Amino acid sequence: MHKDALLQKLNAKTAVIGIVGLGYVGLPLSVRYAEAGYKVVGFDIDPAKIDLLNNGQTYIAHIAATGIMKAIENGFEPTSDFSKAHDVDALIICVPTPLSKHREPDLSFVLNTVETLLPHLRGGQVMALESTTYPGTTEEELRPRIEKAGFKVGDDFFLVFSPEREDPGNATFSTRTIPKICGGTTASCLEVGLALYGQVIDTVVPVSSTQAAELTKLLENIHRAVNIGLVNEMKIIADRMGIDIHEVIRAAATKPFGFVPYYPGPGLGGHCIPIDPFYLTWKAREYGLHTRFIELAGEVNSTMPEWVVAKIADALNEREKAIRGSRILVLGIAYKKNVDDMRESPSVELMRLLQAKGAHIAYSDPHVPRFPKMRRYAFDLASIDLTPEELTSYDLVLLATDHDKFDYEVIEKHAKLIVDTRGRYLGLRRNVVKA
């Protein structure tokens, strides 16, 4: 009875969708559900976000304010009142799953969210977890809490895991067009999960369990982490041999089969690739397994900022300068180009390392006008304009994130020395050092 009623609501778009966590995952998902015709309640603990959204404003660059305003017009209700969870038919959890200071999974955001929601749950609801996590989280952590609250999962309450696959700034794929993986705790849960996402995502891919869905997301990101680790190691080898690794990658990419190009950089960034592999390495220990490939890739990738700093030291040394006392301008502090997302950005770690060595740091980023509040970093800085006079005033310009909005010809013309970590400048250049 509960399942049939819920399926009818979801398929008729009369269900009320609750989305918990209005960040880079939850906000675009809220907009998409509202666009598809559902009533959406968005939950977040940050009152500043709620105020901005209720005023039709955005705080994520690639999500237009017009989209927020249209969602509000369609009934999108942002709130910090979690008691309203009782009134929704679906609860989709999109909160962070970072690492602890010991590089172990930190499920506190997920578990605190679930504990906050528990008093307001009712029969006939579905809960979907989208936060990346280790296999077994949904079954071992969420299900017991829900059943302890008096519900029978698969009968009067439904539980699924459907990992987010957002790619901020990707102009080719959107929330709607990226296929969605979905695994249910029971067969009935999966049926409800497919109905939950089927009206808003073009392709929903069912898997046999929540554990399979959880591992699918980890495999996707570990695949990238390992390949980036490989190409970063190749970069170090190529640099020692005096070969431009970017030229090599571009040449290899002309092969129409058997090769997928990955590009090196100053380190890993974003909310997934630097973090997610550790969720599996941690869980694998429970089974007596040692994830050698994953851990080696993590080791290579995590040392890239130090390698870049060494290249900076060498470049300055060639000009009879030290890092201490040098004025260094960092270009791009988001974790990847053309977005404002700062999570785990290697640019910020580079800023920290250089400042610790006595450099005077400034930055320019058209997507980040002022350095935001971050848990691990604090810089009282604002983005500077890249005028010829500004560029000339720095001892070194570090190209850390290659936004398309930068004028690379002007930068090259006026900078005394450029350290390029992204391969933006091809071939030999008068004042460019590859790193």
Of 52-56, 67-71, 74-78, 212-216, the range with the highest mean pLDDT is 212-216
Residue whose C-alpha is closest to residue 225's, from 268, 257, 282, 258: 268
In the residue annotation, 272 being an active-site residue is answered as yes
Predicted local distance difference test score (pLDDT) of residue 1:
67
Cβ–Cβ < 8 Å for 18, 53: no
Q: What is the mean pLDDT of residues 29-52?
A: 95
Domains of the chain: residue spans and CATH? 2-208 (3.40.50.720), 209-302 (3.40.50.720)
432: pLDDT strictly greater than 90: yes
Portion of the chain with pLDDT greater than 90, in percent: 85
Write out pLDDT tens, residues 259-302: 999 999 998 886 677 788 889 999 999 999 999 989 999 899 99
Predicted local distance difference test score (pLDDT) of residue 321:
96
22: pLDDT strictly greater than 80: yes
Can you read off the two tokens belonging to residue 130? 């989208």
Write out pLDDT tens, residues 103-116: 889 999 999 999 99
Predicted local distance difference test score (pLDDT) of residue 100:
85
Which of the residues 94, 182, 189, 272 is marked catalytic? 272
Q: What is the mean pLDDT of residues 356-376?
A: 92
417: pLDDT strictly greater than 80: yes
What's the whole-model pTM score? 0.91
Label residue 376 by pLDDT band (50, 70, 90): confident
Predicted local distance difference test score (pLDDT) of residue 18:
98
Predicted local distance difference test score (pLDDT) of residue 35:
94
